[in-house]
Amino acid sequence: MSIRTPTIQYTSSKAGRDLSNVALVAVSKRKPIEDIAQAVTAGQTHFGENYLQDAQDKIDHFQSQNLCSPLVWHFIGRIQSNKAKTIAQLFDVVETVDRLKIANALQKHLVSLNKIMQVYVQINIGRESQKAGVMPEDAIEFVKQVATNKQLQVNGLMAMPPFNADPEQTRKYFRQMKELAKKVEKQGVLETCGLSMGMSGDYPVAIEEGATLVRVGTAIFGERS
């Protein structure tokens, strides 16, 4: 397979945004080590995974490679509290914090690991019953609570809006996320509130609306089996 490079440069300049403010997380879930190795050769450093066992093998593999710039692993799946310890050990960033129980469990394990973890609070921006995430109106209070955990550095908010084949239909959710981020900053809860939003089908629109981090799988690695 060959790695395709998403056109973040193009969309950013179109949106009048500074490219240095948009990071790409290559979502490598269910993709083999060889695919990740190709992306690493192409200069990619941030990777997203959501299956723990699968992620462990990959992270162990690349840790043993002594790369000159270490990879940054993002956990983007639903967190079960009995898995908090493994997640705290393996990952650098957790993007799916949506329950205080999880935040507290991560905090506890991070203390014993003497490790600081960057986290995002997941927002259920489309208010979908089948999706994880904090409701938008609870976001401010929730972020405040999570930030009391000293080992957790809250970078911002994350969302997976309702799926729509037409990315223009998703724009309003990205806009709502941006409004929420502004509110978080205005109320002094976080100094700067990052936004992890946008996937293969809609990342250009997400960048136009203020994403600081996009999570792209299929557009880089091809369809997952």
Ligand X SMILES: *Cc1c(COP(=O)(O)O)cnc(C)c1O
Q: What does the binding site for ligand X look like in residue numbers (CB under 6 A)?
A: 27, 29, 50, 76, 160, 199-201, 215-219
CB of 26 vs ligand X, minimal distance in Å = 9
CB of 150 vs ligand X, minimal distance in Å = 26
In the block, tokens 């080590």 appear at 33
- Please report which helix (H) or strand (E) contains residue 108, including its range: helix 100-113
CB of 86 vs ligand X, minimal distance in Å = 18
Residue 92 tokens read as 């650098």
CB of 186 vs ligand X, minimal distance in Å = 27
3-state SS, residue 176: helix
Closest to ligand X by CB, 29 or 85: 29
**Residue 34: exposed, middle, or buried by beta-carbon count in 10 A (0-12, 13-18, 19+)?**
exposed
**Which are the contacts of 139, defined by CB distance < 8 A and separation ≥ 6?**
121, 123, 157, 180, 183, 184
Closest to ligand X by CB, 152 or 160: 160
Q: Which residues in 30-134 belong to E strands, given as ranges?
A: 46-49, 72-75, 93-97, 117-123
By Cβ distance, which residue is nearest to ligand X?
217
Closest to ligand X by CB, 10 or 51: 51
The β-bridge partners of 26 are: 47, 216
Inter-helix orientation angle 139-147/171-186, to 10°: 50
CB of 112 vs ligand X, minimal distance in Å = 28
CB of 115 vs ligand X, minimal distance in Å = 23
The β-bridge partners of 215 are: 25
Closest to ligand X by CB, 29 or 115: 29
Are the CB atoms for 116 and 151 separated by under 8 Å? yes
Closest to ligand X by CB, 183 or 219: 219
Closest to ligand X by CB, 58 or 215: 215
Distance separating alpha carbons of residues 129 and 135, to the nearest angstrom: 11
CB of 25 vs ligand X, minimal distance in Å = 8
Closest to ligand X by CB, 159 or 189: 159
